[in-house]
Structure 1
Amino acid sequence: MAINNLAQAVGRRKTAVARVYLRKGSGKIQVNKQQLDVYFPIESQRTKLQNPLRACDAGSSFDIYINVSGGGKSGQVGACVHGIARALVAFSEENRGALHSGGLLTRDPRMVERKKYGQRGARRSFQFSKR
């Protein structure tokens, strides 16, 4: 049995990577083989994840399957949003204008700065004692 994806894309945010597959369907969203409300129990995360679908008015015409790994829940939501937006553009180039104006195609480049040697953290130094 061949699975025919209409489009697929990769979304990234912080250290999270989401692989998104678009298929014909009725609007079901699965994240790591779990329902959306099970994997992301917070309502604001679910609404943020559905922003690309609302921007394109494509809420109930696709089933979306997402494999996401790395990072925390917030980074994973951002990666899923980026991946869904890129998959919608791969499906139809007409969606690019609505998604771009909503700022959904831009990858958020903010990452955690690395810890430097001789310091307590990325920027914080050890406490200095004059005496």
Structure 2
Amino acid sequence: MQIINTIGRRKTSIARVYVQPGKGDIKVNARELKEYFISEIHQTTVKQPLAAIKAEGQYDVTINVEGGGIKGQAEAVRLGIARALVEFNAESKPTLRKEGLLTRDSRMVERKKPGRRKARRRFQFSKR
């Protein structure tokens, strides 16, 4: 049985994804998907690549994810699953690419600058 190992990143989250043919089990950090990602929106985000190529229930997915917040983790997992599906089935690449699921979102938090309160926010100026 072939197991595909890929990685997905988003902000500071890193997801290591292992995909193999199976009956549709998705485990995140040794917990069920619904138990780890409680929000329905995040569950949908994770399943998006499988739904795009109509492959729900065909692959078992095991995920180790760390860093960042829950949304960043869900999007990192989504990228990892999409990359693994392309390795399994090259014909799915145009579909996933069109949906924007194979593009790494490179936006990161802008660093705080010295002499400022936040990244761009200046300290309050008083004329008098």
Smaller-chain TM-score bracket: over 0.9
Which one of the candidate residues 92, 96, 107 is aligned to 2:93? 96
Distance in structure 2 (CA, Å) of the matches to 1:118 and 1:86: 42
* 1:30 partner amino acid: K
Distance in structure 2 (CA, Å) of the matches to 1:8 and 1:89: 12
Distance in structure 2 (CA, Å) of the matches to 1:44 and 1:116: 34
Query: After the TM superposition, which parts of structure 1 deviate over 6 Å for at least 4 consecutive aligned residues?
Result: none
Equivalent position SS for 2:118: coil
Cα distance change on mapping 1:64 and 1:40 into 2, 3 Å: same
Q: What is the CA-CA distance between 1:24 and the residue it aligns to? A: 2.3
Which one of the candidate residues 115, 123, 128 is aligned to 1:118? 115
Which one of the candidate residues 27, 31, 39 is aligned to 1:30? 27
Match of 1:75 in 2: 72
Q: List gaps (5 residues or longer) in structure 1.
A: none
Which one of the candidate residues 49, 54, 58 is aligned to 2:55? 58
Q: With structure 2 as the length reference, what TM-score do the two structures score?
A: 0.95
Q: With structure 1 as the length reference, what TM-score do the two structures score?
A: 0.93
Match of 1:129 in 2: 126
Match of 1:105 in 2: 102
Q: What is the CA-CA distance between 1:25 and the residue it aligns to? A: 1.3
* 1:126 partner amino acid: F
Using the aligned pairs only, state the percent identity.
52
1:91-117: CA deviations, max 9, x gaps? 221110110111100111111100001
Match of 1:11 in 2: 8
Q: List gaps (5 residues or longer) in structure 2.
A: none
Cα distance change on mapping 1:5 and 1:16 into 2, 3 Å: farther
* 1:13 partner amino acid: R
Q: RMSD over aligned Cα, in angstroms?
A: 1.0
Distance in structure 1 (CA, Å) of the matches to 2:2 and 2:47: 19
Question: What number of residue pairs does the alignment pair up?
Answer: 128
